Structure 1
Amino acid sequence: MILFAAAVLLAMGRNPICTCGAIDLWVAGRDSPRTSQMLADWYSFSHIVHGFLFFAVLWLIAPGWPVERRFLVALFIEAAWEITENTPMVIDRYRTATAALGYTGDSVINSLSDILMMILGFLAARKLPLWASIAVVLFLELVPLLVIRDNLTLNVWMLLWPSDALRAWQAG
């Protein structure tokens, strides 16, 4: 599924790596032109949270399924999201409705890293007790909220119900 997602993203015309020619491990800026182009950035935490959420939701709706099947469903959903997130329609939505004003989509390497981040979250959720999973998700949501004024919760909120007041707060 990961290779399929990479092939689809390349066929869609996504850049394999940053057009700057570099491959960095971490990009610290929310609005950097390298955000969503490198291996990891503040939004990588959102994909780890995806893994925790997919684990929880699939455990609730399909408790009889083996964990391997739930993992494959989570992997499919994340790969599908990475493809969908990089369509012109969603990229434009991010630019108009969220704090990601200059967003141009992800590089393929960033999308693949995001899928791996979801896998990390899913596997962690499988091993951690419930209280620790909740603590990790809260941490992964609160730290980016405090540092860059954005996180998965705000991203979803702004994509679905844009708020001028929230956008102004995020702009600082």
Structure 2
Amino acid sequence: MHKLSFDSFTKKIYIKASMKKLYWCWGTSEGITSWFLSDARYSTGKGIIRTPREYIQKGDLYTWRWHNWDDEEKGKVLQANGIDFIEFSFAEVTKVSVTLEDKGSSVLLTLRQYEIPTDEESKLNIHYGCSNGWTFWLANLKAYLEYGVLLNETEIDLRNVPLAGFEFVNM
């Protein structure tokens, strides 16, 4: 067993969907906005914008926007093999990997966020905040793919609630 620490965390979930569908959900702007983001833009290292159905590739840059959050997340695709693995920079200083494993009737999705700084602010905002956030978003992905429902809040504007990102479970 790995020792728990503040510099990384791992989240796992079984999802009854095909590997191809799950990779599409992470690897295209059309896919990732179907369950996670309000907007996602990917561009090549030369600045060419990828189409919504075009798969991301190593070296691509991204800009993400969420429902109920005014800021943008910008980062880089570090790995994307087109089948079962994606890795990207996240939260300016960390990395996130998504691994898919075919388990017969389900796919085991493993998300790992690592290289998290261990100062007090990063422990709160990145480790605690992202760990809680990814837990919700992976459950949202499962609900979307297995039951056709989304659990995230898109109708009520929570942007003016000071601690919304820490208190609401469906941001």
**TM-score bracket for this pair, using the shorter chain length:** 0.3 to 0.5
Structure with a larger share of its residues in strand:
2
Structure with a larger share of its residues in helix:
1
Bigger relative contact order (CA 8 A; separation at least 6): 1
Per the normalisation by structure 1, the TM-score is 0.33
